[in-house]
């Protein structure tokens, strides 16, 4: 696998934060990839996903939010989180200006990326990828967290497990349908919010990561032709 390049970038109103650029030689896209609320960019899921994305020619620029960089448990206010996403996207464009750019993330990282896009902070991004969009708190169904998606003008890919307690599919399906051709919902059978699958599924977590990567690559190539 391609060794990550360690970088830092500045977020307005905060100290510098860390990032890792992984660019395979055959890279066709670059994905600015944000972590979830409870674990940073070095979490095994983030590392393993990065490796799988590399195999399908997607480079990654994964990065820390300020609270994680400073070893704090409570996430930053939304304005700081979206500012970090915007700064990460700008930095990603600088380090790989020849690659078309995607943005997204795991859980909260994906939701904050969508918030930044809804506020028109992500100039140049071709599409958004959500690895488990957190539509509502666990087992507390609601759709308020999706209201801003109507303001996102670029394509979106939702990758969701059928056992995800943060996003009941009976609520997410009609949301994606209302977004029309801007949204693609890809469902991972038996996967939970962390994309772990049941043994009865006869699949491994590694199989799921490959599916996530291949689905992202296929979707990216499709939007690249539009």
In this prediction, residues 56-85 reach a mean pLDDT of 96
Torsion from C-alpha of 43, 17, 129, 77, nearest 10 degrees: 100
Please give the pLDDT value at position 24. Answer: 97
In this prediction, residues 218-224 reach a mean pLDDT of 96
What is the assigned CATH class of domain 5-224? alpha beta
Please give the pLDDT value at position 212. Answer: 98
pTM for the whole structure: 0.96
Cβ neighbours of residue 92 closer than 8 Å, sequence gap 6 or more: 30, 32, 61, 101, 103
- Where along the chain do its domains lie? 5-224
DSSP labels, 73-108 = SSPPPHHHHHHHHHHHHHHHHHH-TTS-EEEEEETH
pLDDT in tens, 133-184: 999 999 899 999 999 999 999 999 999 999 999 999 999 999 999 999 999 9
Please give the pLDDT value at position 225. Answer: 82
């Amino acid at each position: 696998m391609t060794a990550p390049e360690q970088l830092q970038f500045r977020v307005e109103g905060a100290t510098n934060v860390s990032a890792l650029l992984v660019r395979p030689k055959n890279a066709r896209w670059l994905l600015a990839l944000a972590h979830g609320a409870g674990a940073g960019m070095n979490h095994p899921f983030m590392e393993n996903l990065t490796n799988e994305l590399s195999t399908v020619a997607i480079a990654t620029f994964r990065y820390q939010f300020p609270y994680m960089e400073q070893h704090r448990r409570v996430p930053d206010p939304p304005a700081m989180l979206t500012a970090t996403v915007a700064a990460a996207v700008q930095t990603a464009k600088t380090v790989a200006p020849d690659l078309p750019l995607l943005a997204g993330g795991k859980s909260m990282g994906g939701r904050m990326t969508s918030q930044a896009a809804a506020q028109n902070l992500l100039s140049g991004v071709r599409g958004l990828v959500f690895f488990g969009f957190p539509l509502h708190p666990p087992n507390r169904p609601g759709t308020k967290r999706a209201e801003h998606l109507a303001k996102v003008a670029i394509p979106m890919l939702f990758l969701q497990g059928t056992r995800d307690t943060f996003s009941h599919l009976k609520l997410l399906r009609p949301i994606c349908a209302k977004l029309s051709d801007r949204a693609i919902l890809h469902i991972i059978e038996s996967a939970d919010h962390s994309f772990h699958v049941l043994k009865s599924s006869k699949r491994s977590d590694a199989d799921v990561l490959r599916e996530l990567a291949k689905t992202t690559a296929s979707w990216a190539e499709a939007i690249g032709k539009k």
